[in-house]
């Protein structure tokens, strides 16, 4: 995951850019949309999506953050922002999120993702896990 490589203070920006590109590239957009829609309505797809998130995405992100349950929780917080954005922007097409320019979405989400992934645990209010 190239988005995870580089300075910590821009990790959120890199992650949002890569994520939006997946959703906006014709080769991957349709399958991403179907995957997310199915995960909310089909139990088999739900299990597959959950497994993919846990075993691949969250493991990769939390590994870069040093591993452990707090790192995993940080990765989940970031993922929840990205998945929620995809649901509202690409699946449900809810304005104004659906009509914003990609750069505007990056500017809005990147600081939050960076904070989730890099801020002091006490500042975030992370529980001891």
Question: Is a pLDDT exceeding 90 seen at residue 3?
Answer: no
> Whole-number mean pLDDT of the chain?
94
Q: What is the largest CA-CA distance in the chain?
A: 42
pLDDT on residue 92 = 97
Query: Residue 125 falls within a domain, yes or no?
Result: no
Number of domains in the chain: 1
Say which CATH number the domain at 22 has.
1.10.357
Range of the domain at 57: 8-120
For 93-103, write each residue's pLDDT tens digit.
999 999 999 99
Query: Residue 63 falls within a domain, yes or no?
Result: yes
Helix boundaries (H) for 65-101? 69-86
Enter the pTM of the model.
0.92
Query: Residue 129 falls within a domain, yes or no?
Result: no
- Angstrom CA distances, 91 to 54, 69, 86, stand at 22, 30, 7
For the segment 68-81, the average pLDDT, to the nearest whole number, is 96
Query: Residue 78 falls within a domain, yes or no?
Result: yes
Q: Which two tokens stand for residue 25?
A: 């590239």
Question: Is a pLDDT exceeding 80 seen at residue 78?
Answer: yes
Cβ neighbours for 31, distance < 8 A, ≥ 6 positions apart:
none
Query: Residue 1 falls within a domain, yes or no?
Result: no
For 40-68, write each residue's pLDDT tens digit.
999 999 999 999 999 999 999 999 999 99
Tokens 């922007």, residue located: 89
* Residue/partner pairs of 69-73 with CB below 8 Å, 24 or more apart: 69/129, 70/121, 70/126, 70/129, 73/126, 73/127, 73/129
């Amino acid at each position: 995951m190239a988005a995870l490589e580089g300075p910590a203070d821009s990790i959120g920006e890199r992650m949002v850019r890569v994520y939006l590109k997946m959703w906006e590239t014709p080769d991957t957009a349709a399958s991403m949309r179907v995957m997310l829609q199915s995960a909310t309505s089909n139990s088999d797809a739900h299990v597959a999506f959950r497994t993919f998130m846990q075993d691949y995405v969250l493991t990769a992100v939390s590994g870069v953050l040093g591993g452990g349950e707090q790192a995993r929780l940080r990765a989940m917080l970031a993922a929840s922002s990205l998945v929620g954005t995809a649901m509202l922007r690409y699946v449900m097409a809810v304005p104004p999120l659906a009509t914003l320019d990609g750069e505007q979405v990056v500017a809005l989400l990147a600081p939050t993702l960076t904070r989730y992934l890099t801020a002091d645990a006490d500042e975030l209010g992370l529980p001891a896990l």
